[in-house]
């Protein structure tokens, strides 16, 4: 078996470690580029969302490298995601590639479902071996997410723009190569100290902007034109509401104390939306309500034609919790210059609100 997975931020790093420890021939597809997007758009039905298209682009580029199995997300929720694996498999077949697309129902089967799929892909490796490999992959995931959260705080105040991004990409490569817990711990500690020593402008109090929306476009920078870095350059500290490590942490399997963040978010959305509408629409509304007192504004990332996020987009302006929301529709037509103009206008608005005392007035110091 030759296996690949889609790109979604740095997720390939923990999974590479996991699969290699289980002796699975794991291929990392080429990073998302204009070529990936062109292939994706060319072979996808036009009205489907950008996650479908970019996942297909990754599949085609991985198939060119000779894979025979592709592990992806699926599910039988309300959105179209549940159909995607079969449609993509059929498109690959029409293109002459014999690839089995294996999907994991992340919402309904959670971590247990993922582990069962891994057992199958590893030709029935013993559970103890799977758990050990998984734990090490998880340690990499936690290290990456912890460092990235510090990067999000340093970006808006660093004097030399791009320094924290450089440190993060260097750390990501080193974490990818790390082969034991001690190296991993040291890398995490050293990178966080380096980030804390970056020369910064201590005069500014950065605006705080939450990033919410559909899981894939929130996590894959190529699909949102790296909106977090762009906001950082404009002096904004972002608080992303979704990290893969959170999804794993709040999965019932690792959550014996019943700490259910998702339930808290759903509860917050209840006055405006009474039930799951598929994808992450319910969460987008809940995030706005829950964090309105902590953020100056919210950037809502919604794939074009995504029904759950269209519903959320229409509810958000009507909530009692009044913080400005900028919805960015992500698809192949999204252009950097257009997005930057809108971000600049949004940041101007938030600064005016803060000056006028109607913002949340955070002490945004790092």
Tell me whether residue 49 or residue 67 sits nearer to ligand SF4 (CB atom): 49
Instruction: List phi, psi (to 5°) of 238.
Output: -95, 145
Residue appearing with tokens 């069962």: 116
Structure tokens, 137: 């992959």
47 or 357, CB closer to ligand SF4?
Answer: 47
Interaction between residue 49 and ligand SF4 (CB under 6 A): yes
> Of these, 7, 16, 53, 80, which contacts ligand SF4 (CB under 6 A)?
80
Binding status of residue 283 toward ligand SF4 by CB under 6 A = no
In angstroms, the CA 303 to CA 330 distance is 5
CA separation for the pair 184, 278 (Å, rounded): 37
Cα dist. 69→15, 72, 109 in Å?
15, 10, 20
Residue of 281, 293, 354 whose CA lies nearest to 320: 293
Task: Give CA–CA dist 84/103, Å, rounded.
Answer: 9
Residues sharing a CB contact under 8 Å with residue 360, sequence separation 6 or more, in sequence order: 208, 293, 294, 295, 296, 323, 354
Applying CB under 6 A, among 188, 214, 237, 283 the residue interacting with ligand SF4 is 214
Question: Among 79, 218, 234, 265, which residue interacts with ligand SF4 (rule: CB under 6 A)?
Answer: 79
CA distance 132 to 45: 41
Exactly one of 6, 137, 232, 279 binds ligand SF4 (CB under 6 A); which one? 279
Q: Does 74 bind ligand SF4 (CB under 6 A)?
A: no
Stretch that binds ligand SF4, among 12-20, 79-87, 237-245, 350-358 (CB under 6 A): 79-87
Considering only 156, 297, 308, 364, the residue that binds ligand SF4 (CB under 6 A) is 308
Among 55, 81, 268, 350, binds ligand SF4 (CB under 6 A): 81
Residue 300 CB, nearest approach to ligand SF4 (Å): 13
Using CA atoms, how far apart are residues 252 and 160, in angstroms rounded to an integer? 42
At its nearest, how many Å lie between ligand SF4 and the CB of residue 242? 12
Measured from the CB atom, the residue of 166 and 333 that comes closer to ligand SF4 is: 333
Check residue 118 for interaction with ligand SF4 (CB under 6 A): no
* Contacts to ligand SF4 by CB under 6 A: 49, 51, 79-81, 214, 216, 279, 303, 306, 308
């Amino acid at each position: 078996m030759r296996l690949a997975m889609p790109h979604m931020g740095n997720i390939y790093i923990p999974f590479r470690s996991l699969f290699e420890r289980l002796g699975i021939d794991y291929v990392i597809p080429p990073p998302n580029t204009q070529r990936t997007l062109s292939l994706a758009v060319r072979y996808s039905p036009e009205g489907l969302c950008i996650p479908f298209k970019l996942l297909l682009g990754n599949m085609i580029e991985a198939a060119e490298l000779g894979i025979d199995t592709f592990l992806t997300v699926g599910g039988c929720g309300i959105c179209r995601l549940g159909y995607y694996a079969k449609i993509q498999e059929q498109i690959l077949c029409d293109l002459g590639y014999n690839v089995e697309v294996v999907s994991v129902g992340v919402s309904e089967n959670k971590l247990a479902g993922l582990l069962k799929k891994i057992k199958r892909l590893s030709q029935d490796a013993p559970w103890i071996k799977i758990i050990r490999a998984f734990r090490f992959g998880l340690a990499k995931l936690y290290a990456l997410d912890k460092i990235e959260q510090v990067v999000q705080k340093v970006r808006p105040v660093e004097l030399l723009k791009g320094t924290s991004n450089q440190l993060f990409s260097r750390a990501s490569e080193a974490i990818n190569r790390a082969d034991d817990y001690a190296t991993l711990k040291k890398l995490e500690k050293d990178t966080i100290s380096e980030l804390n020593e970056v020369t910064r402008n201590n005069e500014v109090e950065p605006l705080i902007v939450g990033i919410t929306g559909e899981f894939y476009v929130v996590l894959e920078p190529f699909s949102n034109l790296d909106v977090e870095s762009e906001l950082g350059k404009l002096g904004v500290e972002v608080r992303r509401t979704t990290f893969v490590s959170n999804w794993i942490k709040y999965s019932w399997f690792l959550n014996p104390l019943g700490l259910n963040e998702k339930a808290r978010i759903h509860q917050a959305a209840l006055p405006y939306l009474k039930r799951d509408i598929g994808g992450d629409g319910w969460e987008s509304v809940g995030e706005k309500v829950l964090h309105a007192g902590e953020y100056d504004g919210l950037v809502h990332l919604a794939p074009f034609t995504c029904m759950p996020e269209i519903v959320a987009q229409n509810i958000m302006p009507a909530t009692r919790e009044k913080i400005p929301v900028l919805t960015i529709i992500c698809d192949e037509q999204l252009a950097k210059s257009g997005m930057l103009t809108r971000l600049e206008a949004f940041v101007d608005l938030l600064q005016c609100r803060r000056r006028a005392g109607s913002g949340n007035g955070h002490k945004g110091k790092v």
